[in-house]
């Protein structure tokens, strides 16, 4: 989906993904000291806004101006601030001083675009910073519930790790992969609970790199 399609999807008064953070975010950032956080493809801002309520100084980037406007409103409704940028994350240049946490949730785009977005994510990491990606896994198509049904935009942990390795090489930084694989997510439906299968990758940039 391009930015225009996302704009029309977001063009409703209610929030598509509600205002709550993704269920994996609080667990995965537990123990990190709040600092500067970047949410790439932030959409309506649920994850960035939650991080802001936890003391992080957040920046959200998304190419949908309607999404970004909703994120701005969600932040205000929660009494927190944020920097909200309308930009394409496959080509965006992050500030050189970097972020302590970079998150990317459910950016479902073809593999070459995801690789470019992951390069942006790695470029945005300050030394010792954490990168967290969660996305609909390819396995979800055959074994899970919901999510995009187009296999070209679904992820695998191995595919994400390959893109991260390419980004490390081209940017001259080193990552330590702390977690990678599939993770099951319980989804409540009118017919009862279902299981969705996500890809999760969490990595940390090795400190002291220039």
Ligand X SMILES: C[S@@+](CC[C@H](N)C(=O)[O-])C[C@H]1O[C@@H](n2cnc3c(N)ncnc32)[C@H](O)[C@@H]1O
- Which 3 state secondary structure label does DSSP give 112? helix
Residue showing the smallest CB distance to ligand X in the complex: 43
Give the residue with the Cβ less far from ligand X, 166 or 206: 166
Q: Which of 59, 72, 90, 120 binds ligand X (CB under 6 A)?
A: 90
- Which 3 state secondary structure label does DSSP give 23? coil
**22 touches ligand X by CB under 6 A:** yes
**24 touches ligand X by CB under 6 A:** no
**100 touches ligand X by CB under 6 A:** no
Q: Are 98 and 124 a contacting pair, CB within 8 Å?
A: yes
Sign of CA dihedral 156, 158, 159, 163: positive
> What is the DSSP code (8-state) at residue 155?
B
**163 touches ligand X by CB under 6 A:** no
CA distances from 99 to 69, 125, 185 (A): 22, 5, 27
Give the residue with the Cβ less far from ligand X, 67 or 98: 67
Looking at 71-79, 87-95, 152-160, 164-172, which segment touches ligand X (CB under 6 A)?
A: 87-95
């Amino acid at each position: 989906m391009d930015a225009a399609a996302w704009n029309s999807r977001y063009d409703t008064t209610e929030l598509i993904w509600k205002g709550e953070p993704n269920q994996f975010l609080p667990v995965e950032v537990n123990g990190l000291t709040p600092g500067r956080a970047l949410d790439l493809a932030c959409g309506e801002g649920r994850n960035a806004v939650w991080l802001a309520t936890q003391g992080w100084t957040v920046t959200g980037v998304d190419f949908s101006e309607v999404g970004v406007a909703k994120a701005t409103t969600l932040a205000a409704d929660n009494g927190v601030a944020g920097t909200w940028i309308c930009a394409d994350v496959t080509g965006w240049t992050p500030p050189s001083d970097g972020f302590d946490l970079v998150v990317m949730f459910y950016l479902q785009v073809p593999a070459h675009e995801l690789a470019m977005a992951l390069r942006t994510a790695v470029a945005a990491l300050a030394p010792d910073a954490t990168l967290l990606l969660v996305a609909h896994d390819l396995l979800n198509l055959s074994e899970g519930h919901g999510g995009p049904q187009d296999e070209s935009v679904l992820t695998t942990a191995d595919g994400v790790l390959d893109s991260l390795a390419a980004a490390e090489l081209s940017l001259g930084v080193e990552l330590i992969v702390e977690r990678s694989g599939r993770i099951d997510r319980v989804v409540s439906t009118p017919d009862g609970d279902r299981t969705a299968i996500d890809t999760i990758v969490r990595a940390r940039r090795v400190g002291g790199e220039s």
